[in-house]
Structure 1
Amino acid sequence: MQLFKKMTTSLLVASLSLSSPVMATSYSELPDIGTVAAGTLSVEKEIEYGNAYMRMLRGSQPIVTDPLLSEYISSLGATLVANANDVKTPFEFILIRNRDINAFAFFGGHVALHTGLFLHAQSESELASVVAHEIAHLTQRHLARAMEEQARQTPLTMAALVGSLMLAIAAPQAGIAAAQATTAASIQSRINYTRSNEKEADRVGIETLSRSGFDVNAMPRFFTRLSDQYRFASKPPQFLLTHPMPDARITDSRERAQQYPQKTVPYSPEYQLARSRVIARYAGIDASAALDGFNRDLKKASPAQAQSLNYGKALVYIDSRQFDKAGALLTPLYKAQPNNRFFLDAMTDLDVSQKHFDQALKRLNTALESQPNNPVLLLNRDYVLVKAEKYKQATSGLMQYTHRYPNDTNGWSLLQEAYDNQGIRHGALAAQGELYALQGRWHKAINNYTQASQLVDLGSLDQARYDARIDQLRVEEARYAALQR
C-alpha cells in the first residue's frame, strides 16, 4: 500500500509469540562469561527501558511502517528466536530507512535493521546472520553486563549509569557500543570488552543460524565482503564502527562455522521480494536508477530471480504512475500465485491508483477467506475502504484492528482519517492521541483525549472510555518520567 510508504516516522511491529528455544547439539564450546547480570538490572526493568526506548525511537527515526516488510522481518526474527538459547523477553524487529549498513539491539528484545542491509546481503542467510548476531547480544545480556563492568571500574552508581544510558538513546545507531562511551573507564578496556561481546555474539549467533536451518557460512562470508569492500574507506559504514571487525574475528567466525554440518539452503523468494521492495521504495534510489538496476540483474537472472526483479520493476512503475507497464508485469505474477501477499499488495496499489476499488476489495476479500486474520490483508482492505470513501465500514474494521494490534501506527492513522472524513472529531482526536502516546508524547496524547471527552455527551459511554484512557496515560507518563531521572 502506498499509504505506508509515506509514513516513515511511525512503527509497525507485531508482538511475536515465542516458543521454547529448541535444544540442539552444540558444535561450539562457548565460555560461560555470565548471562544473568542479575545484580545490574532485572529482566522486567530491561523491558521497561526497552518500551521507553521504542517510544523515543518512533519520534526520532524514520521507521519503515510497510506492513509487508514488517511481516517479513518479524517472521525471520521469530524463526531465529525460536532456536536461540536464554530467551527471556519477547522480541520485536523493526526496519529503519537508512542506506547505511547497520543493525543494533536494545533492552527488551528490540532489534533494528537498516534498509541498507538489504542492499548488501545477497541471500536470506546473510541477512539472518546479522539478525542472529543482534539476538545474541540480547540473550547474552551484553548491555547489562557492560553496565556491570563499568560499575566495577568507576565510582558511578547504577542510577547514574542508567541515566547515561537513557541519554545515549538519542543516538541509537551506536547500538550496544554506545554504552561503552558513558563512563571514564580506560579506552583500552572498553575496546576489549566490546570485542569480547562481538566475538561471543558471533559464536552464539552461528549456533542459532545452524539450528534455524540457515547457512552458517553466511556470517563470515558477509563480514568478509564488508571488510574487504571498506578496508581503505575514509568513512566506513556505521556497522563496522559499532561492530569492530578485525581479521582475527572474521577468521574465528569462519573456523567456527566450519565446525557445523554444511548444508545447501534453498533459495528464498520471500527475501528476494522483500529486497526488491526495499530497492524500489526505501533505498532512496530514483526511478530510472532502480529500473536500470533491475534490468541489469534480469539479464543474468534465473526464472525464480526474475519473478522478484519484475515485481520490483512493477512497484517503480506504480509509483511513477506508469500503470499499463505495472499491470503487464504484475498480472501474470498474481495469476501464478494468487495468495502471495507481495503480489496482492501491489495489485491493491495498482487498483487504488486507478480507482478500481470494487476490484481491489473483491480480490482482498477472497484472500481473507483463507487468511482471515492476516494483518497485511486486513490493512489493505481497510485502506481500500478509506480510499473508496466507505468510511463507516472502514471504521468498523479498524476498531477491531487497533484493538488487536495497538502498537501498529498504520491502523491508528487510517482510523483517524476515517473519523475525520465522517466529521467525528472526538474519534479522530482519540486516534491521534494513540499515535502521540506511541511516541512518548504524553502531554499531547492526554490533551487530545481531554478534548475528545469534552466533545461527547456528559455521562456517555464514550466519555467514560476517554476519561479512563486519560487515567492510563497519566500513569504511563509518570512511569516514563521516572525512568529518565
Structure 2
Amino acid sequence: MRISSLLTAIGLALLLSPPPTYADVSNLDLPDFGDSAGSIISPQMEQRIGEAFMRSVRKNATIYDDPEVEAYIQSLGYRLVSNSDDTSQSYTFFVVKDEMINAFAAPGGIIGINSGVIINARTESELAGVVAHEIAHITQRHLARMFEVQQNMSMPMLASMIGSILLTIINPAAGQAALTAVAGAQAQYGINFTRANEQEADRIGMKILARSDFDPGGMAGFFERLQRSSRYYKGNAPEFLRTHPLTSNRIAEARARAEEYPPIVPDETESFELIRMKILANSGKNAREAVSRLKEILDDAENKQIIPARYGYAVALTNARQFDKAQQQIDILLQHDDEKPAFLLAAARLQAEQQNYGEALAIYERMQQLYPDYRPLVLARADTLLDAGQPAEARGVLRQYGRSNPTDHQYYELLSQAESQAGNKIEGDIAQAEYLYLIGDTSLAIERLKHTQRQPGINYYQQQRIDARLNQYQEELELRRELQI
C-alpha cells in the first residue's frame, strides 16, 4: 500500500475539525468502535473522507470509465469482500488508466487498481491476490491506525502531505518526492510502520483469497514475477515494488502460507481474460498499434485463450474503424456464444459506430430480455438512442434504471443530455450539476444550479431539490478546501 494512502487518513481526519481553531486530536468527539484506531477516526468519517477523495481522483486522474471494466472490477472486489471478516464497509473499486503496475487503498473503502496490474496478471487469482491485499488494509483499519501513530504531526506538515496525495496517484515519482520533502523523518517512521501492515495484509488477504475459491498461491506468484522482472528496470522498478516493498523473506512467507491451504481448483471466470484483452485493445499509442498487438496475441493463443484474444482483436479493429474485419471476428464470437454480454455489446457498438442505429438497438432490445438492469447495457443503449435522435426514449431507459439502481456520473451525464434534448432544460441542468459534482467540479456544479434557479418556469419541487443539493455541494466544497484536495 502506498504511503500517501495511509497518510491520507492522518491529515484528512485532523483537517475535518472545525476551523479556524485546530483542536488537539485527543479532543475530537468521535465514537469508540472497540479499538484504539476507532477512537481517533470513525468509519463514518473515513467514509465521508473517501467520497470526497474519490471525487478528487476523478477530477485529477485518468479513470477507466468503461462500464464493462467497472462492472468487472466491482464484481471481483465484492466477491472478495463477501469473504472477508468485515462485510459492513462499503467499497468503491476502480481501474486507473496507467500501465505501471500499482494498486492502492484510501479512506472509505476506496481501492484503485492500475490497468497495468490487470494486463500483467497471468491468472485471475493473481489479480484477486492484489485486490485482496488492498481489502485487508481496509478491514484491518491500517489507515486509521497510521493516523493514531502520527497524531502529533504539525498541521502545516499534514496540510502539505495532503497536497501530494493526488499527485502521487497521477505521478507516483513526483508525489513520493513531495511526501519525502515535507515529511522527512516522520515519513520514514511511517514507512517502517507500514512494513508490519504489509505483512498483515498479505496474511489476511490470502485468507480472503482462499475463502473466495481463488488460488492462494496467486498472491505469491504475482510477487515473484514482479521481483524477477524488476531486474530489468535498471533502477526504475514498478511503483508497486516501491510502495509495497518485496523481500525474499516476504515472498517466501507468502509461498509457505499458500502451501498450508488444501489444494483447490480455482473458480476463475472468463470475464477476467475478456476484460484484460479489452484493456489491451484500448492501450498503446494508437488504434493501429493495438490492432497489430492483438493480432499477434490471437495468432499465438492456445485453447481457452483463443476466444478472449479474438474478442480483444474485434474491439481493436472496431476502434481502428476496420469494420468489415471486426464483423468477421464478432460473427465467430457469436457462433461460440450468442448470449455472452461482452460479445453482444461489441456487436451493437460495431453497428452504432457505423450509424446503423436500428441494428444496434435491436441487439440491445434482445439483451434487455437477457440482462435487465445490467449497467453497461443501460448506458450503451441510452447513448445509442441519443445518437439516433431519440432523447425521450433514452430518458425513459435511464429513469427506469435510476429508480431501482445506484446512479453515477456517467448516468447523470447521459441523463443531462437526454433531458435537455427532450426539451426539459431545467431537469437537464440539474442532472448536469450532479454530473459535475460527481467528477469533482463542485464549484461548477454550484454555478450551474445557481444559474438554473434564475430560469423561468422552475417549479416548487425543482426549487426545493436545488436548494438541498446546493447546501450539500457547499459543504463538500468547504470540506475539500480544508483538505486541500
TM-score range, shorter chain: 0.7 to 0.9
Q: Percent identity?
A: 34
Q: Could you tell me how far 1:289 is from its partner in structure 2?
A: 3.4
Which of residues 149, 166, 169 in structure 1 aligns to 2:165? 169
**Cross-structure match for 1:242:** 243
1:183 Cα deviation from its structure 2 partner: 4.2
| 8 A Cα contact 2:442 2:477, kept in partner | yes
CA distance in 2, matches of 1:299, 1:36: 57
Q: Say if 1:187 and 1:469 are closer, same or farther in 2 by CA, change over 3 A.
A: closer
What aligned pairs does 1:112-191 form with structure 2 within 5 A after superposition? 112-151=112-151, 155-156=152-153, 163=159, 166-173=162-169, 183-185=183-185, 189-191=189-191
Query: Displacement of 1:354 after TM fit?
Result: 1.6
What CA distance in whole angstroms lies between the structure 2 residues aligned with 1:235 and 1:218?
24
Asked if structure 2 preserves the Cα contact closer than 8 Å seen for 1:276 and 1:311, the reply is yes
Once the two structures are superposed, the pairs formed by residues 315-326 of structure 1 within 5 Å of their partners are: 315-326=315-326
Name the CA shift for 1:185/1:348 in 2 (closer, same or farther; >3 Å).
same
- Per-residue CA distance 1:268-305 (angstroms, 9 max, x = gap): 31111000000001x23433433333333334423421
Q: CA deviation at 1:93?
A: 0.2
**Are the equivalent residues in 1 in contact too, given 2:164–2:179 (CA < 8 A)?**
no
Give me the whole-angstrom Cα distance separating, in 1, the residues matched to 2:309 and 2:270.
Answer: 11
Give the conservation status (yes or no) of the 8 Å contact 2:213–2:267: no
- Aligned residue in 2 for 1:263: 264
Partner AA of 2:59 in structure 1: G
Task: Tell me what 1:291 maps to.
Answer: 291
Counterparts of 1:290-369 in structure 2, within 5 Å, are 290-369=290-369
Any conservation in 1 of the 2:433–2:444 contact (CA below 8 Å)?
A: yes
SS at match of 2:95: strand
* Corresponding residue SS for 2:231: coil
> CA separation in 1, counterparts of 2:354 and 2:442?
40
Is 2:89 aligned against 1:93?
no
Please give the secondary structure, in 2, of the residue aligned with 1:111.
strand
Q: Residues 116-147 of structure 1: CA distance to partner in whole angstroms, max 9, x if unpaired?
A: 11221011011001000110111111121122
1:18-29 aligned within 5 A: none
Of the structure 1 ranges 113-122 and 410-419, higher mean CA displacement relative to structure 2 is found in 410-419
Q: Give the C-alpha shift of residue 329 in structure 1.
A: 0.6
- How far apart are residue 100 of structure 1 and its match? 0.6
Once residues 189 and 450 of structure 1 are traced to their aligned partners in structure 2, the CA distance between those partners, rounded to angstroms, is 47
Alignment of 1:33-48 (within 5 A): 37-48=37-48
Give the deviation of 1:171 after TM superposition: 2.6
Distance 1:132 1:49, change over 3 A: same
Aligned mates of 1:310, 1:117 — CA distance in 2: 21
Looking at structure 1, the residues matched to 394 and 46 of structure 2 have their Cα atoms a distance apart, in angstroms, of 37
> Is the 2:214–2:267 Cα contact (8 Å) retained in structure 1?
no
Q: Which sections of structure 1, spanning at least 5 residues, go unmatched?
A: 1-33
Of residues 458-467 and 71-80 in structure 1, the stretch that sits farther from structure 2 once superposed is 458-467
**Aligned partners of 1:402 and 1:412 also within 8 Å:** no
Report the alpha carbon displacement of residue 463 of structure 1 after superposing the two structures with TM: 3.6
Is the Cα contact below 8 Å between 1:111 and 1:134 reproduced in 2? yes
- Residue 279 of structure 2: aligned partner: 278
* Residues 206, 216 of structure 2: 8 Å contact kept: yes
Q: Distance in 2 between matches of 1:300 and 1:381?
A: 34
| Other-structure match for 2:50 | 50
> Which has the larger displacement, 258-267 or 46-55?
258-267
Q: Helix, strand or coil for the counterpart of 2:39? A: coil
Greater share of helix: 2
What residue is the counterpart of 1:29 in the other structure? none
Q: What amino acid is aligned across from residue 269 of structure 2 in structure 1?
A: S
Answer yes or no: is the 8 Å Cα contact 2:357–2:384 preserved in 1: yes
Per-residue CA deviation, residues 16-58 of structure 1 (Å, 9 max, x unaligned), is: xxxxxxxxxxxxxxxxxx9751232111111111111011111
Match of 2:14 in 1: none
Unmatched segments (≥5 aa) in structure 2 = 1-33
Contact 2:215 2:266 in 1 (8 A): yes
Check whether the contact 2:408–2:438 (CA below 8 A) recurs between aligned residues. Answer: no
What is the Cα deviation at residue 331 of structure 1?
Answer: 1.8
8 Å Cα contact 1:97/1:114 also seen in 2: yes
Q: Compare 426-435 and 67-76 and name the one that shifted more.
A: 426-435
Contact 1:81 1:87 in 2 (8 A): yes
Check the 8 A contact 1:180/1:190 in 2, yes or no: no
1:192 Cα offset (Å): 2.5
Secondary structure, in 3 states, of the residue corresponding to 1:359?
A: helix
Q: Distance in 1 between matches of 2:275 and 2:442?
A: 35
Contact 1:391–1:422 (CA<8 Å) still a contact in 2?
A: yes
Matched residues in 2 for 1:56 and 1:327: separation?
A: 39
Aligned mates of 1:69, 1:61 — CA distance in 2:
16
Deviation per residue, 1:188-215 (Å, 9 max, x gap): 6433222111111111111111000001
TM-score where L is the length of structure 1: 0.85
* Residue 109 of structure 1 pairs with residue 109 of structure 2: yes
Task: Tell me the residue number matched to 2:213.
Answer: 213
Distance in 1 between residues matched to 2:193 and 2:466, nearest whole Å: 49
Name the SS for the 1:362 alignment partner. helix
Worse overlay, 251-260 or 364-373:
364-373
Distance 1:150 1:198 in 2: 18
